[in-house]
Amino acid sequence: MSEFKGRVRDILHTEVVRESSLSGGCVGDVRLLTLDDGRKLVAKIGSGTAPGLALEGFMLEFLSKNSRLPVPAVLFADDHLLLMDFISGGETMTAAAEEDAAHHIAALHDISAATFGFSRDTLIGGLLQQNTRESSWLTFFRDHRLMYMGRQARDAGRLPAETLRRLETLCSQLDKWLAEPAAPSLLHGDLWTGNILVGRATISGFVDPAIYYGDPEIELAFTTLFGTFSEPFFRRYADLRGLTPGFFEERCDIYNLYPLLVHARLFGGSYVSSIERTLQRFGV
């Protein structure tokens, strides 16, 4: 018996009878387990010195306890192992599924807090996500999203110093394009196709969160970056919560600088070019 299977047995008091690899996850090896009592679980096995699986488990449990967003139940979490209920998915994202997603995300965004940020730092793509609490969204977005991740990318040798300087110039002028939202909203934080499990005409679950309280527009913007959602989602979301004019025309590109900086920090390459095109578009 492998050490891994033995540990699962000790935690759950049942045997693993089958396992197979699953795709996805930035912080560990992901496996589908079948137990001798018939249950199916997902296991993430940490790799590296700071895998962050305990934090991922915390974020899933926070969403489960504080929202109605469908997420997998966490059975066990520490820095090296995360065990969760298996949620089936893999169906095609239809218009009906997009509308269902809009209901889930609008309800999540209705959950508020006194400040932007979170009670602790979280993770996005395996990277530390700084969540220092701020009363101003523009201050939070400037200091703890754009400039923080820009410096991380620069220190990793993935972002040129001149691009970071241009980013700083944009950050000094954010109030030209952005305004303070009415209130902080609870965000999933990493809302793209790979983190959304699609059932038949509905969303069966959301995984790999990167939670904090922020302007919901940053979450909506991210869904446009890799084509996660389209017109049916945004039409239904607008019916439920509204969309302020100018989002698609200007603010979407500014908010997508953050996930682009995350990807630049992780991968460099074309993501840096995308950042530079956005900066040029806004005159810096």
Could you read off the pLDDT of 201-229 as tens digits, one per residue? 999 999 999 999 999 999 999 999 999 99
The contacts of residue 32 (CB under 8 Å, 6+ apart) are: 19, 20, 21, 22, 40, 41, 42, 43, 86
pLDDT tier for residue 92 given thresholds of 50, 70 and 90: very high
Q: Identify whether residues 270 and 200 lie together within a single domain.
A: yes
User: What's the confidence (pLDDT) of residue 2?
Assistant: 74
User: What's the confidence (pLDDT) of residue 48?
Assistant: 62
Q: Identify whether residues 110 and 81 lie together within a single domain.
A: no
Last residue of a domain, one of 29, 62, 85: 85
**Does pLDDT of 50 surpass 60?**
no
Count the domains in the chain: 2
pLDDT tier for residue 27 given thresholds of 50, 70 and 90: low
- Domain coverage including residue 226: 95-281
Q: Identify whether residues 221 and 131 lie together within a single domain.
A: yes
User: What's the confidence (pLDDT) of residue 120?
Assistant: 97
What is the biggest distance separating any 2 CA atoms in the chain, rounded to whole angstroms?
61
Q: Is 190 a catalytic residue?
A: yes
Alpha helix locations (H) across 115-171? 137-140, 147-155, 161-171
pLDDT tier for residue 1 given thresholds of 50, 70 and 90: very low
- How far, CA to CA in Å, does 77 sit from each of 17, 45, 130, 147, 172? 21, 10, 22, 31, 41
Amino acid found at 135:
S
- Mean pLDDT estimate for the chain: 94
pLDDT tier for residue 278 given thresholds of 50, 70 and 90: very high
Considering the candidates 100, 190, 208, 215, report the single residue annotated as catalytic.
190
Nearest by Cα to 8 from 27, 36, 50, 28: 36
In a domain, 218, yes or no: yes
In a domain, 25, yes or no: yes
Amino acid found at 93:
M
